Amino acid sequence: MDPPLYQLKAEFFKTLGHPVRIRVLELLSIREHAVAEMLPEVGVEPAALSQQLAVLRKANLVVTRREGSTVYYRLTSDDIAELMRVARGILTGVLQGQAELLAGLRAASR
């Protein structure tokens, strides 16, 4: 018996549940990147980046190509980039709501 779709979705979101993985996906949403290009952008050691890239590869969210000794990563689907954009929009709305609530609390305490 196959796992229910909601369980597969939960596993998918667990895969996204690491800040380095999210940052990598954001970078790759812009364009293909070499590992060396991503290192300063994600701010982790090479071994840590390699580990997170392996998780993304295993989940089939990114693929690689080699050019000489350089390994390039890209997203497997434009839908992943769209998911990053949608998440940003959702968070923007949530943060705006929280800022308005905070402003209201500050005004009420005066």
Residue-wise pLDDT tens digits, 2-48: 889 999 999 999 999 999 999 999 999 999 999 999 999 999 999 99
Q: What is the distance between the alpha carbons of residues 74 and 25, in angstroms, rounded to a whole number?
A: 9
End-to-end CA distance of the chain: 60
pLDDT mean across residues, the chain = 94
Q: What is the per-residue burial (b if ≥16 Cβ within 10 Å, else e) of 34-43?
A: ebeebeeebe
How is residue 73 annotated by DSSP?
Answer: E
- The pTM (predicted TM-score) of the whole model is 0.86
- Which tokens is 43 given? 């701010």
Side chain identity, residue 24: V
